[in-house]
Structure 1
Amino acid sequence: MLGSGDSSHIIKLRGLPFSTTVEDVLDFLVGVNVVGGKEGVHLTEVRPGRPSGECFVEVETTQDVEEALKKDKENMGKRYIEVFSTDRQDMEWALNAMRQSENGFGGISNVSDDMGIVKLRGLPFGCSKEEIVQFFNGLPVAPDGVHLLLDHTGRASGEAFVHFTDKGSAQDALSRDREKIGHRYIEVFLSSADEVRSYSARM
């Protein structure tokens, strides 16, 4: 549950040890008023069980942001921590991308050469799987067939694979190329099971 702090009162920590807990973050930020205590600390993961080394913290006032920034380059354990001021949009985008990746590529090993697969590029930040299914309204997207892709930092890359129940539907999906989700034009390309497997292996 995100707190109700003002959008300008968000800080980001980078360089956290992978074993870092919410309590460790609160100890590091002693003297800084965090919104809701533990509820105001949001540790992020590249994928489930793999911490990113970053977190977002909601603080109460501009003075708390300034106090937190004084801790830039201080140590947590043997690691020195970078502290930045950021905004709610950046935090919610990162948390949304993390939530969307929780199901990740759990079914990716079952990808079949008989499936029709397209790759999307240019997705708006925070785009949901439901929005992508709606983008292809009228075409048979396979169950759990939308896979949002992450970059090397674990953030949404603006790309996705979409699996259809047959190859003909993937061909039909190309007609949606350059249509919009929100204000963004979406590029649609034919893909393949091999390309999906290659991405899965890299992650």
Structure 2
Amino acid sequence: MFSNRDGRETGLKRQRVPDPSPSFLITIPGSSFVYGNAASFGYMGNPLPFPVVRLRGLPFDCTELDILEFFQGLDIVDILFVHKSGRFSGEAFCVLAYPLQVDFAIQKNRQNMGRRYVEVFRSQRQEYYFAVAQEVSEGRAGSPRRAPPRTRLGDEAKESSEHTGVLRMRGLPFSAGKEDILEFFKDFHLSEDNIFIVVNFDGRATGEAFVDFGSAEDSKLAMTRDRMMLGSRYIELFPSATKEMDYAISKGK
């Protein structure tokens, strides 16, 4: 993981490059999950293409969270902001979980992010890794990562949400285990039985987890940890419920 001095990541997260297995799960925005296989999408006998798109025309105060919201419904593996002469260029690479999701990402071409329309077009593995190497060679590595700024509406929504004792965590390192989450909430009386790490259909971590604090009072207190760091990642916390937790866990089974 690399970060530049203004907080944008410039290096690789733990890669979840698509596994060219016979079948896979595709998330289509606005619809339920769709199962497919390599043959049905024209990949049988051919190597799966590397699922990366390039974005151009991004706002210069763009954050990783803005891109996640722009591609809402798609599975984002990595975001790389591109710099020129030490300044953010308005371009970024976005690696997706599955090749078919590139088609849905392209549908966002020339849609607005704030007051600017953003161009989205296909890219290649070599272009992405070349950009990673450029960021590293220019010395934007090792600085602490800064969380995106809080938004008034987002904070108000969290504050007004009813607490049931369950919190959803988002933004976890893919390597994080239950012991890391226990350390993150070390001021609370929790055990590994209170923690549920969400995985996708092939058993890979999604970067989300649910924590059952047992009482609404404790989960509300735990919200003071919102946007705190776990390793090199800031963690977002959201009030949740047992029903949402059970559903998320069942999707990985």
- TM superposition score normalised by structure 1: 0.46
Which protein is bigger by CA-based radius of gyration? 1
Relative to total residues, which structure has the larger helix share, 1 or 2? Answer: 1
